[in-house]
Chains A and B, each alone.
Chain A
Amino acid sequence: MPSDLPVDHNPRHQLITTEAGNSCLQLTGSYTLVSLNPSLPAVARELAQLASQPGLYWDLTNIHQLDYAGAVMLWQIWGEQRPDHLLLRPEQEQMFQRLEKVVSLPEPTQRKWFLPVSLLGQQLLRFFDHLAGMISLSGQIVLDIVYLMTHPSRIPVREISANLYRTGAQALGITAIVGFLIGIVLSYLSSEQLHMLGADIYIVNILGMSIIRELGPMLAAILVAGRSGSAMTAQLGVMRVTEELDALTVMGIPHSLRLVLSKIIGLSLALPLIVLWTSSVALLGGLLAADLQVGLSIRYAVTTLPDAVPIANLWLGLGKGVVCGMAIALIACHFGLRIKPNTESLGEGTTNSVVTSITAVIIIDAIFAVAFSSIGIRVAG
C-alpha cells in the first residue's frame, strides 16, 4: 500500500445495525484499482462472506472514491445483479447502470480443434499450399526473366549489386572463421588416424575431397541460409507490415522483379563465390594443421592436390552453390511475401524461412550426391 496516501483512501467496511434493526454494511474509504492494489482478492473474499447474510443493506454513499474496478468487484460479489437493499450516490447509480448494460463476451466464431488427425491434415494442406506458392513464385520469376531478356534496360542492376554486397561481401568474415576452424578440426582428427597407418600423405586426398566436394559448399550454404535468408524474409515482412509493398505496387514497380528476382540473381551469383572462398580457407586451415601435426609441407600438399582431387569436384561444389543460392533466396522471398501485417507472423515467417531453407540445402546436397555419384570420384582398382 502506498504510504503517502491519506488514511481514508484504504478500502474499509463496517457492519452496523440500523435503528430499524437491519444489519447494514457500510463501505468507506476508496474502492479504486490503486487503493485495492494488492489487497483486492482479500477484500473481495471478506465482502463475499458478509454478502451471504440474507436481507443485508449495502450502503455505498460514504465511499470516498469508487472506480469501475471497484464497482465490478462489488458487482461480482452480488452475483451480477443489484442486492435487494442498496444505497447509492447519483454518480454511483450511473456506474451500476452501465454495468447492468454490459453485454456478455461473445463466443469466438471459429473454434479451434486440436485433434491429432485434423492437425496432421492441416499441416499437410499447409505444406501443399507452400509448395504451390513456391511454384507460382518460380513461374513468375521465369516470366520476369523472359521479360528482362527483351527489355535489358529494365534489369535491376543496382539492386543485384546491393544484394551481392550484402549477401556476399559482408559474409566473407564469418564464413572464413567457420571454414578455417572446421578445416583444422578435420585435419587434426584424420591425420592422427592416417599416421597410425603410415599413410600421412593421404591427408591431402581426404581434405581435398571432403572440403571441396562436400563441406565447403554445405558450410557456406547453411551459414548464408541463416544469415541472408532470415534478413530477406524479415525485410519483405516489415515492408508488408508498413505497407511499403503496396506502395511499390501502386507506383508500377512489380515487387517480384525488383525485390525477388534481384535477390535470387544476387544470391545465386554470391553463393558460388562464397563456396570458393570457404573451401579455400578451410583447405588452408587443414593443411596448416597437417603441417604442424605431422610435418606435411604445404608446398608438397599444394602440388599434389590437382592429382588427388579431380577438377570435376570443384565444379560440383560451385554448382551446388548456384542451386542452393537460388533455393535460399526463393524460399526466403516466398515466406517474406506471405507474412501478415502483425508482429507474431513476422517472427514465425522468419523462423520457418530459415528452417525450410536449411532443410532444402541438405536435400539439394543429397540429390547432388545421388545424381553425380559417378563423377569426380576415383574408384580403386
Chain B
Amino acid sequence: MTTAEPVIEIAGLTTRFGQNVIHENINLTVLKGEVLALVGGSGSGKTTLLRQMLGLITPAQGSVKVFGATHYDCGHEKERELRTRSGVLFQQGALFSALTVFDNIALPMRELRILSETMVRDLVMLKLGMVGVEAQHVHKMPSELSGGMIKRVALARALALDPELLFLDEPTAGLDPALSESFVELIRSLREELALTIVMVTHDLDTLVAISDRVVVLANRSIVALGPIPDIIANGRHPFIKDFFGGARGRNALRIFQQL
C-alpha cells in the first residue's frame, strides 16, 4: 500500500432520521487496495454508513466522495461510471426473484448496451466459475438455491462489471462455519486476483481477522477507533472494544495474532 490514493473520502458526515441522530461528524478515508471493516454494536449505524457510501441516503451534513465524486450531484454519466466501478453484495443477496441465476448476473452487463450476447455469456460463466457455482445451477431461480449458493451468486453479480471497489454487508451472516470459512477464502483470493478495494460490515470476528487490513469501530454516533486489529486491541479504551475483542469468542479468534 505504498501508492495509497483515496477511493472513498467521508468528511464531516452527519446522518439524521427525523430527530434521531445516527452519525455525528464522521471523517473517514478508504484507501485503494485495502480491506476496511466496519464493526460496532447492533444499531450503531454500520449499515447506514454503508448506504451513505452507496449513495442510497443523502447526508444531512458533510460529504461522501467515491472516486472523487459525490453520488447525488455528479450527473448521469459520472454516476453511471461510479456504478460501473463499484459492486455491492447485499446482506440477503437481493437477487431478482423473477430472473434466473444467469439473467441476474447478465442484467448489469446487458444494461451497458455495449457487450454482445456472446461476450455476456462468456463473462457470466467466467464470474460463476470464479465464485465456484457449477454450470448446472445457471438456469435455476433464486428461490431454488440454498443460502450459501445465494451468497455466491450475489457475489458473482457484484463482480459482474469488474469493479475496483466492492461493498459487502455482513458477507458471512447466516452461513454455517464451514461455508463461511470457504466464503472468506473466496473473497480473499478474489481480492488478490482482482486487486479489489473492499469495504465490509461484519459481526464475525473470524471474518474480520481473516481479511481486514483496517477496522473502524463505530459507537456513540462516531468513530471510536480506527486501525489494524492489534493496534485497536492495544489502544482501544471504549467498553465496546473490550467486550467485542475481549470475550471468549474474541480471544479465540485472536490467537492468530499471538502466534505471529
Contacts and interface: CB of A to CB of B under 8 A. Distances in A.
Given A72-B126, A98-B129, A102-B125, A108 B118 contact: no
B143 interface: yes
B81 A99 contact: no
Interface in B91-106: 96-98, 102
Interface stretch (B14-22, B26-34, B134-142, B173-181): B134-142
B122 interface: yes
Contacts of A61: none
Nearest to B125: A102
Contact of B122 (A32, A34, A102): A102
B112 interface: yes
B130 to A, nearest CB: 7
A36 B126 contact: no
A208 B141 CA distance: 56
Interface in A328-381: 340-345
Chain A at the B interface: SS class: loop
The size class of the interface chain B forms with chain A is 35 or more
B142 to A, nearest CB: 7
Contacts of B116: 41, 76
Contacts of A67: 162
A40 interface: yes
Contacts of B115: 40, 69
A36 B119 CA distance: 14
| Interface residue range, chain A | 35 or more
B114 interface: yes
A2 B139 contact: no
Contacts of A344: 97-98
A99 B121 CA distance: 12
A341 B129 CA distance: 27
Nearest to B162: A67
A340 B136 contact: no
Nearest to A103: B135
B226 to A, nearest CB: 29
B143 A340 contact: yes
Nearest to A101: B129
A76 B123 CA distance: 11
Contact of A2 (B78, B123, B143): B78
Interface in A35-61: 36-38, 40-41
Nearest to B98: A344
B78 A105 contact: no
B138 A34 contact: no
Contacts of B129: 98, 101-103
B77 interface: yes
Interface of A: 2, 4, 32-34, 36-38, 40-41, 67-69, 72-73, 75-76, 94, 98-99, 101-106, 108-109, 241, 340-345
Which 8 A-B pairs give the minimum distances between C-beta atoms? A342-B97, A344-B98, A67-B162, A40-B114, A341-B143, A103-B135, A102-B125, A108-B139
